[in-house]
A and B are shown apart, each in its own frame.
Chain A
């Protein structure tokens, strides 16, 4: 943020008191401005662009006014139907589905760790020297990240048929990009000294990786794994909507039968598990790191 230059204010005789007084009397009336004209125009253009985007979206989006008008009423109706939650429904249906969701999230995360490790090794430029392989690995990571977990679930339902197997693979493939990217970054930040020392002793590649690189990457690895497990737990709760197992199946059934008191129970169960997982992950992270 540069200020407007004040003319004459920093002329050669600024050190002498006479000079300061003379300048002070003229520049007191001067208006100070924070940005140059170019910056001001740029800022106005950004604001204009934002407002224009909103106006365009509001004017052309397909919103049915009748739906908008009775939205509060309908929301209130829904909440009344959801209260009180039917807690008797929790055991055994919801409980079993919840355990299945946790299994899907955990197994999917473990699977993604195994799959992401080789890709990360290929993507890290200090481990794999081949530019072509680096780019290929980056491409795998990016495509895994850009396809959403629900879309992965749709694909794996088409491949494995409906059930938790599809959900597990969806979670695993979705997580490869995230885990692999962070892991490759951690590897690239590793100090080269220990690796070179091990290589100088004539250690084979496997030993160099296991004893030189792994100890440096390990804290980041477990941190990333925990973080991703937390995310996966949330995501696996919705996979059931497309038939990929977990609590989403039970939720979908309850919604389709308009059992809103059961829906409330399921939502509460998801909420409790997600909040608990967050607490557990934060605890473990503070202990680990």
Chain B
């Protein structure tokens, strides 16, 4: 009786070693070691870094709110950039999303539109902001334009995907009554995607606010410029104040948009 039970346990180990997974992890470890040497990360450097970090933190505290006017001015400009970029991005991504949806538009419209959206999404908004700063000059306008591009890439892509998932029955029904294209859109397509569209817009408003605090680093307006200037002058206590204020603003926005989302449900 006991012999088969013992061999039964032997036969199938409860946790057999998974060799492909182990080899994969080994490969990752080897790659990590190789990349570490490539990027010139050494223990000596980490050691000096720790000392520097301690000095850096010591100079950051306590945060210095003496120049709060500058701080508020920058934050308000960031807020304005975020609001305008979201509004422009939402308005522009409505037609783009409709044009990119493969079930509503012919391929020669949806193909190029999808490519355009992909390009908008692939370039980081800071890179786009640099281009706009060079093209249309320093200031909030460049930041606004850059974040509009980023919003378009995000909202239009998700909007197009949402439209592609709609049920075509309503669309066919409205078409069968002889309704013109605009009525088909308003009465058959938009009601099916409206709530998701609002959700994307809220999310993008949130992320535009985050990003608008940053585009100033390349001169595109907002609190980022103040932050970068303070960093360059080693005003680390003011840097700390700016960071704390920015985090507070982003937090507040997240709480508000969370409330709106909960109210919509």
A residues whose Cβ falls under 8 Å from a Cβ of B: 50, 53-54, 56-58, 60-64, 67-68, 70-71, 74-75, 77-78, 100, 103-104, 106-107, 110, 143, 146-148, 150-151, 154-155, 158-160, 163-165, 168, 211, 234-235, 237-238, 241-242, 245, 251, 255, 267, 270-271, 274-275, 278
Contact = CB atoms under 8 A, between A and B. Distances in A.
Interface of B is mostly: helix
A74 B247 CA distance: 35
B107 interface: no
Contacts of B217: 150, 241-242
A158 B56 contact: yes
Contacts of B87: 50, 54
B225 to A, nearest CB: 12
Contacts of A68: 136, 141
Contacts of B228: 154, 242
A63 B247 CA distance: 26
Given A62-B77, A147-B243, A150-B214, A158 B35 contact: no
A78 B131 contact: yes
Nearest to A65: B141
Given A75-B136, A78-B135, A165-B39, A57 B122 contact: no
Given A107-B39, A151-B214, A74 B243 contact: no
Contact of B127 (A143, A158, A270): A270
Given A62-B77, A67-B137, 16 more contacts: A100-B39, A103-B38, A107-B32, A148-B214, A150-B214, A151-B214, A154-B231, A159-B53, A164-B41, A165-B40, A211-B15, A241-B218, A242-B217, A270-B123, A274-B122, A274-B123
Nearest to A59: B80
A5 B37 CA distance: 74
B84 interface: yes
B136 A57 contact: no
B141 A271 contact: no
Nearest to B53: A159
B80 A57 contact: yes
Nearest to B73: A62
A183 to B, nearest CB: 17
A172 to B, nearest CB: 11
Interface string B17-53: 0000000000010011001101111000100010011
Given A61-B77, A155-B56, A270-B123, A107 B35 contact: yes
A163 B119 CA distance: 28
Contact of A267 (B41, B123, B136): B123
Contacts of A63: 139-141
A146 B35 contact: no
A201 B137 CA distance: 69
A234 B124 contact: yes
Nearest to A107: B35
A158 B243 contact: no
Interface string B57-82: 00000000000000000001101110
Contacts of A158: 52, 56, 231, 236
Interface in B199-248: 210-211, 213-214, 217-218, 221, 227-228, 231, 236, 243, 247
B83 interface: yes
Nearest to A66: B137
Contacts of A278: 122
Contacts of A146: 210, 247, 250-251
B214 A67 contact: no
Nearest to A79: B135
B261 to A, nearest CB: 13
A62 B45 CA distance: 44
Interface in B81-126: 81, 83-84, 87, 118-119, 122-124, 126
Contacts of A57: 79-80, 83-84
A159 B80 contact: no
B122 A271 contact: yes
A237 B36 contact: no
B56 A275 contact: no
B188 interface: no
A58 B84 contact: yes
A154 B228 CA distance: 8
Contacts of B118: 275
Contacts of B136: 67-68, 70-71, 74-75
